[in-house]
Each structure stands twice: as structure tokens, then as C-alpha cells.
Structure 1
Amino acid sequence: MPDRTVRILLAAVLVLLALYVAQPYLQPLLYSADAPRAVTARGNLAQSETATIALFEQASPSVVHVFAQSAARGQDLLDLDDEAGEQGGTQTGTGFIWDGAGHVVTNTHVVQNAARAGGSVSVRMSDGEVVSATLVGMAPSYDLAVLQLGRVAHMPPPLAIGTSADLKVGQTTFAIGNPFGLDHTLTTGVISAVRRRMPTSEGREVSGVIQTDAAINPGNSGGPLLDSAGRLIGVNTAIVSPSGASAGIGFAIPVDVVNRIVPELIRVGRVRNPGIGIIAAQEAATARLGIDGVVIVRVLPGSPAAQAGLHGVDPQTGELGDVIIAANDRPVHRLADLTAAMEAAGLGAPLTLKVVRDGRARQVRITTADVAENRQ
């Protein structure tokens, strides 16, 4: 190979080596963006994004932040708002405008401690206005409560009402609330299951409960669960999570139940529950005794159960009285089964119970009556 060619190749190699060594120093000089970069046009939003934005803009003004101040903060099985406990007894949650009269729907467990302790409730509207509110009524058996707003500068429109009767697993859901005090947070998901059963107080269960994987966290309690049309399909109430934060399993009270209970709370301040006037044993105690049915601990004086001759546990000897094992020919394994049978029968309706006493079964005809929820 001629010497001239060798010299050219060596020179080229040296140039490449020099560029390689100098590259870290040359690149910042040549390519640094030391001025604002030009904005790249993104084009139109996706149709799904546009629909979600429109849904939030339409619904969010009707969602409010609820603050319930109590002197002493108690415990509740459905209490999801533990972060509020460190704020001087203030429990926080979410609510939404129900009607043009300024009624707000939220969860019972958001406001009940303030109600019991003679506390106060206030509501922060979506525009930041803080308004005092009074408690109209609570339905602990459904974890629903209704508030009445005071004077509001601008009343938002009530949310559109949907139905929970035709919901399908896989439908898109939207939850708006105030998780951890962060106002008007939107989360999305799908309906994970329908017709779940959720225990509340007084041994009752809400049937038809909606399960969703839309993120629901402490502070979302009482907020709306919406479908893709922006209609209310449920009221967010509980989560299943070892950590207390969203684990993708949230529950909402179905709107068909809400639409039945809320008007009654507005009219009379409470829900007239069909009952028979008994105090039942705890399920855990019944299970430990190996009893399948509802053990009557005490019969309320003057109640339908007393008039029908039912007996509770003997307070002197501890001997069992009546155990209810069926209602209207349906098996009764626990109190929720009995309350479901009473609700199916309705208020002031006849109910046929099968009860066992001293090992002998008999039929008892009884008529349901209005039983106050907060009996002692």
C-alpha cells in the first residue's frame, strides 16, 4: 500500500478519534435548548377524552365537600375518613346536590358523630363558598343521610338520576369526590360486579350494591358514582383495603335504593323500617353456639313480637327462648335474612315465622310495624 494512502487512513482515524473524545463537549454547545422550545401541535383530543372532560365539567359543580364537626369522635364500622380524626373531631366526606331546594345527599357515617354529639355541619361548594347545613335525616341501615343547605349564592343544578336496575359488568364508571381532602377529584374505572350485598347497621344489608374499581379513598364517602352519560348510578360508601387506601375494590349504594330512601328522609326525617320489635343476638355468638337462625335476645314491650308471644333469652338463667329459622317459607340463617324478608313483605304486612323453642318448631303469624332505627 502506498505511503500516501496509509497517511490518509491514519489521518482519518485520528480525526474520528478526536471527534469521539470531544463529543461530550461539542454536543451541549451545538444542541442545547437554551430558549423555550416550540410547542408541537397535538391535534384534537380523543373522543373518549372529550366525553370525560364534558362529564366532569357538567357534574362537578353539583359535588360538595362535607365537614362534620363533633366534640367527640366515635368509631363506626364504615368509617373511611380516618384522616379527619386528627383535625379536632372534624369528619370530612363528599356529598352532592339532590334537588333545587338545596338538599345534599351524603353517607350517614360522615355526619352521624356530629349529629350525636350536637356538633355542626358545613359544606364547601365547588366555587369555594362555605355554607352551613342542617341535618334533615339519616338512614343508618342504608348509610345515607340528607342535609339542607343554608343560603347559597349560586345553587348548582342537581345531578341527573340514572337507574341501577340495568347495569352491566364492564360499564365505565366515574367517581367524583374529595379523597384525603383534595377537592373535586375524578377517578374512572368500570363496574366490577353487581348485586353485591353490603352489611350496614342494625344487622341489615343493602342488596344490589355496585362494586367498582374506580379509585375510592377516604374522603370519597358520600360522593356520586356516575355512568358514561353523567347520570347518578350509586353513592360511594365503602372500600375493601388492608391499608385503608384504594385497592381497586369499592362499593356504592345503588341509585334505585337512594331514590327510594332519600325522598322519605326529606319527608319525615327517617326511614320507616318494617320490623317486629326484637333485639337479636350477634352472629358471632350465635355461630359459637352452633345455632343456625336468629336468636331472640329481647322482645320490645308492645311490639308485634310481644303481641305474638315471642320470647327472648331468660335474663335470670340465660336459657334460650325463640330462634327464628324461617320467614314466609324462606330459610333464615342470620338477621340479614330476616330483615330482607320483612322488607320484601313491607310495612304493616303479615309475616309467617317459623320459630324453634325447646327443640320444637312452630309457625307464628305476625304483622310488621314501623321500628325506629336508633332504638336502645
Structure 2
Amino acid sequence: MKRLIVAAGGGGDAVAAAMLYGALYAADDEPALILTYSWDRLIVDPVPGPRAPADFAGLRRLTPHVWAVPGTATPKPPHAATLPRLAAELPHAFALIDPYAGAAGITRQLDELAAHFTPDTIDLLDVGGDILAHGDEPTLRSPLADALTLAACARAEAAAGIRLLVAGPGLDGELPADTLRPRLGPVIATFTPDDVRAIAPVLDWHPSEATALLAATALGARGLCEVRDAGLPVPLTDEGPTVHHVDLQAAYAANRLARAVADTTTLDEAEERCRAICGTSEIDYERVKAQRLSGRQQATPVVPHDLPDQIRDFERAALTRGATHTTVRRLAEALNLPGEALIHLARLNTTHARRLPASVWELRAGKTVRRPDR
């Protein structure tokens, strides 16, 4: 195995890792190993927080503390996960980051993989750039996952050989591109439509927003996109498809949260330190939201009969806010639809003629939306 890519935040970062492989390592004669969290939003997984190895059936042990996730693996109810399907549809091998042993446990996983496979390169990839946070930025919404992987990589035995790469500055809706720009290093790649082609089928069903926007900007999308349940405005610019090399140790030194969680041995301990620095953790947010959603979505039909009218009303309002695009996840959250509706919304999306991912919805006044099949 020549390439080990660590998906800093899991989820969409794992999809972006496959795109990165195509852009940087297409000449290789073997796939990469992508080390990633299984941490899906509540619209997919009703259980807050990341998944542990015990939450799956059918994992395969790679090293004493690292488990591979094959395409045949299944999450144990009530958990849900996109990672097994990702492993089934992409040619790369996927291994599970287990944050329940804290940053120290992730460091141990990295050390075992590096010793076992002796890869030629190790890349830590983050889409959006919140891994470059200092910890006190008011726009931060999900700092813990990135802080844990940043700390683990910075303290790993192979740290000197690990490259920190940031793709799509600002596309995750957390730190604005203007804030990130002074913290970024040189551009080492700019994604192209050819790079997107390998992962395009995955984006028809995968709920990642940042990676979908990374692909969309590589395909030429420009404007302002609303994301997440809060409708955060994310500019789609020429910076969108770029990949920057950032000094790993400098990023770690500047990230208060990463330094604070570096010696943690449990996820609970890491959460406590996250609350002390940031006021809360993303898992706290998921817990509160899960309680709010419980019962409410059970009574919501997957495809309401008046869905086209609801979509048109949403589009009109979004256009008045200056948006040009949204994501199917944002649309589903805004219309209070359950996770099963994501695929239906992607099918309704008419942006395929523009070659954008099905999960990125182009807003147009008077856009025709087919009525759902009954």
C-alpha cells in the first residue's frame, strides 16, 4: 500500500480523499487506504456521535487497533452509516478511525498502520479548512473531529512525513475563506472535471455538502450556496477546487483545541475539553437536535404530495436571500423531510444538464419540479 490518506472529519472527507487520489496519484498501480471516521449527520444516522467498531458487523482486523470496513459490513441497529456503501462503490480500502480512545488512541492507530504498511505518503485531508481553526472562532460548528485527527497526526511517530492538505477553503460553511487565506500554504492541485468523474456516482446519494460543493466548483459552479439546517451562505468561487499544503506542526501549534485533546484517552474526556474551549461540542449539538427530532419525523411521509410546491416556495425565498444554489441536505432539513427523502430530492434535481452533482441544487425562478410518483 503506497498511499495512506486520513480523512480529517470523516464522511465527505473520505469521498474527497478518493478524488485527491485521482488528482495526485493516478499513476499508481494500487488503491489507497483511507482512514476515516464513520460519523454521519442525523438525517442519516439517528444516533449522535461517531460510530465505533462495535457498532458494525463484518469488519476485518488490519492491525491490533485498526479495523477495515468492507462493502459487506453492516451497521448494527439502531445505527446507520454510509461508509460500507462507500467502500462497496469506490476502489479504495477504508479503515475506521476509533475516537473512543481519544486522540491517543487515534495516534496509536496511525502508528500501527504506518509500521504495518510503510506507505510512501501519508496525507491528512480536510475539506473546508476548519482544521485550521484556533478554537475561539464564533463560526466553528464541528471542531472536535478535526482537532482529534490533527493532534493524532502531529504526535504520530511518522508526523514528520505527514502532509496536511486543505481542499475547498470555506466550503464547509465554518471558517470563511478570508479568515483561512493567511493560514493556507501553497496550492498543490486544483481539481478538474476529470477528477470529479470517479466519485460522481457517489455524490448522487452521499449526503456530504462540503465535498459536493468541492466537486461542483471543480465543474464550474459559481455563486452562493445555502448549506446545513441553518442555511449558512457559502460562496462558490475560483478558490473552491483548490488544494493547499499547510504546515502540520504550525497548524497544530495554532489550534488550542487540538493541543488540549492531544493526550486524551477517551472521547468523553475530549468532549469535556472541547466544551471548556469552544463552549460545546458537535456531539452536544447532535444530542439536542436528536431529542428535538424524535417523534417529529416519524409522522412525516418520505415524499409529501405537495413537495413540488414546497420546493418552489423554498426556492423563491432562497433567491430573495441572494442564493444561487442549495444542497439536497439543506432542502430536506428546511422542509422537515426524513433522511430517506435525500435520494428522492437528488432524483428530482434537474442540474444534471449542468453536470453538477445531484446533491447540489441550482436555484432558478420558475424551475419545473416533477410531482412525486405515487
Q: Taking structure 1 as the reference length, what is the TM-score of the superposition?
A: 0.28
- The structure carrying a bigger helix percent of its residues is 2
Whose radius of gyration is greater, 1 or 2? 1
Q: Taking structure 2 as the reference length, what is the TM-score of the superposition?
A: 0.28
- The structure carrying a bigger strand percent of its residues is 1
Larger RCO of the pair (alpha carbons < 8 Å, separation 6+): 2
